[in-house]
Structure 1
Amino acid sequence: MADHLNNKPFGAWIAIDIAKDFNAVLSETKAGKRQHFRMANSAADHDRFIAFLKSLPPPCIIGFEATGNYHRALGHRLVAAGFEVCFISSVASARYREVMFNSWDKNDPKDAAVLLELLKQGIIQRYVDPLIAGHHDLQELSKTYYQVTL
């Protein structure tokens, strides 16, 4: 079986563990340099993060695990800025973390490391921003219907 993702040129891998208030970010460049930091879910930190991404060697491949609706603002900003953004399954992340660390112990830096490994292996899904793709209304209607049926 051919490994299509790893044959694709990249400058940096970026894994983001999304949370309500702060996101854990782990980046790795082609040279192997890793950088780990926390980023608030705010417009100012999103601006600083996009500036950081533009300073990395292109292309940057960004992956995150969807958490509620907290990923939507950052995902929109990244897609609008022209970055390649991918979803990473929370089930795949949990299974890989269990195998990698032999425990269910969960913390943000460890989750970001797990997401980075899954991103590098190509265990991802394509991220489509509903607002940019033009089906935001359908998604909101679906979420409203879900809340009404509860």
Structure 2
Amino acid sequence: MQDLEHQKTRNDDAVYIGIDVSKTRLDIFILPSNERLSVTNDRLGHNKLTALALQLAQTPLIVMEATGRYHRAAFERLSQAGLQICIINPYQTYSFGKAMGQNTKTDTVDAYMLACFAMAMRPSPKPPLPKRLAELKELVVSRRQFTVRRTALSNQIKECCSASVCQMMRAELAMIKRHIAKCDTLMKKLLAGNLPLKARFDIIISVPGVGFVNAVTLLAEMAELGDMDEKQAAALLGVAPHANQSGNHHGKSRIKGGRKAVRNVFYMAALSSVRMQGGFQEFHQRLIAKGKPYKVAITAVMRKMIILINTLLKQNRKYQPKHPLT
């Protein structure tokens, strides 16, 4: 009872700031004072917002949505001032707003809902990614986008009838392939010049089935690996089974959530691992022999692999093959 009273008091004294981010403006709402204001989304506006937050009686918990590059400069400026900021998946705040019965959408309302989200959920603040890791992540995302475009162009060329259009498409395809190769070169150069990142990369790629693209994707887009338990690692990738039960109904457990883009890349690593000696081939074959569907078995392999990688990073050691992984 005393803990609950203490929590209530602490929450009553706390300050929460919701920031709705757009290209040119930051809309701000402060709870519990119900103050609202707007600043420009540039260095001058970021400095004004930082000064305002530092002048508050209590250190505020600040929440803003991930909006690509538009939130990054403000996030970095606030973090440099020692403030607590949480970058939230927009789907979380969208679901929160629906649960609150909020159907109106304006910048001010969005900032208010973000402040309410901070007050109700108290998400854990996270610092910005280190500069080199942020650069690596941008290269990884760019490479993935180029790869999607390469696949689309290759398919379009197969259906193209015009010789002139085919020629232009092939020229664009060749350029995209050069960009992909350039991304790979830049990523390797970045890793070679950063010993901590290179050490983590070497640990990840030591696991059977994990290639260069798999390793840099995990390194850049699942930077939390090594600092969580096995259930959290599986859930972050999106390969943890979620129960589907209600009353007498017992449905099949299914995976959901997690980081889809990383999971799609890691799926290829699992496929490679089950086809090679010393990988997860024996474990996969045992699941198939028990009647598990192929993709269910592959998902189980993905879960084992990400748990193994998380453990190796936590222990700061490479995988040492001794016997088939089971």
C-alpha distance in 1 between matches for 2:133 and 2:101 = 39
Contact 2:53 2:59 in 1 (8 A): no
The DSSP-based 3-state class of the residue aligned with 2:114 is helix
C-alpha distance in 1 between matches for 2:18 and 2:129 = 21
Q: Which has the larger radius of gyration?
A: 2
Q: TM-score, normalised by structure 2?
A: 0.40
Letter in 2 for 1:64: M
Contact 1:22 1:41 in 2 (8 A): yes
The DSSP-based 3-state class of the residue aligned with 2:17 is strand
- Using a 3 Å threshold, how does the CA distance of structure 1 residues 144 and 125 change in structure 2: closer, same or farther? farther
1:135 aligned partner: 133
The DSSP-based 3-state class of the residue aligned with 2:130 is helix
Task: Report the structure, 1 or 2, having the larger helix content.
Answer: 2
Which region of structure 1 is more displaced relative to structure 2, 119-128 or 62-71?
Answer: 119-128
2:120 aligned partner: 121
C-alpha distance in 2 between matches for 1:69 and 1:6 = 36
Task: Report the structure, 1 or 2, having the larger strand content.
Answer: 1
Contact 2:29 2:115 in 1 (8 A): yes
Contact 1:6 1:120 in 2 (8 A): no
CA RMSD of aligned residues (A): 2.5
Gaps of 5+ in 2: 149-326
2:25 aligned partner: 22
C-alpha distance in 2 between matches for 1:89 and 1:108 = 17
Taking only the aligned residue pairs, the percentage that are identical comes to 24
Letter in 2 for 1:127: K
2:147 aligned partner: 149
Contact 1:88 1:125 in 2 (8 A): no
Letter in 1 for 2:21: I
Deviation at 1:45, TM superposition (A): 0.9
Deviation at 1:112, TM superposition (A): 1.0
Contact 1:66 1:87 in 2 (8 A): yes
Letter in 1 for 2:85: V
C-alpha distance in 1 between matches for 2:139 and 2:116 = 35
Deviation at 1:26, TM superposition (A): 0.5
C-alpha distance in 1 between matches for 2:79 and 2:102 = 35
C-alpha distance in 2 between matches for 1:41 and 1:131 = 22
Aligned: 1:12 with 2:11 = no
Letter in 2 for 1:22: R
Gaps of 5+ in 1: none
Which region of structure 1 is more displaced relative to structure 2, 90-99 or 76-85?
Answer: 90-99
Deviation at 1:124, TM superposition (A): 2.9
C-alpha distance in 2 between matches for 1:106 and 1:87 = 20
Q: TM-score, normalised by structure 1?
A: 0.82
Deviation at 1:39, TM superposition (A): 1.4
Deviation at 1:68, TM superposition (A): 1.9
Which region of structure 1 is more displaced relative to structure 2, 121-130 or 69-78?
Answer: 121-130
Contact 2:39 2:48 in 1 (8 A): no
C-alpha distance in 2 between matches for 1:66 and 1:126 = 13
- Using a 3 Å threshold, how does the CA distance of structure 1 residues 6 and 19 change in structure 2: closer, same or farther? farther
Deviation at 1:41, TM superposition (A): 0.8
C-alpha distance in 2 between matches for 1:122 and 1:77 = 24
Deviation at 1:126, TM superposition (A): 3.6
The DSSP-based 3-state class of the residue aligned with 1:130 is coil
Count of residues in correspondence between the two structures: 144
Larger RCO (CA within 8 A; separation ≥ 6): 1
Letter in 1 for 2:52: F
C-alpha distance in 2 between matches for 1:58 and 1:33 = 12
Q: How does 1:86-125 map to 2 (within 5 A)?
A: 86-101=86-101, 103=103, 105-122=104-121, 124=123
Contact 1:11 1:57 in 2 (8 A): no
C-alpha distance in 2 between matches for 1:124 and 1:146 = 30
C-alpha distance in 2 between matches for 1:7 and 1:106 = 32
C-alpha distance in 2 between matches for 1:6 and 1:86 = 22
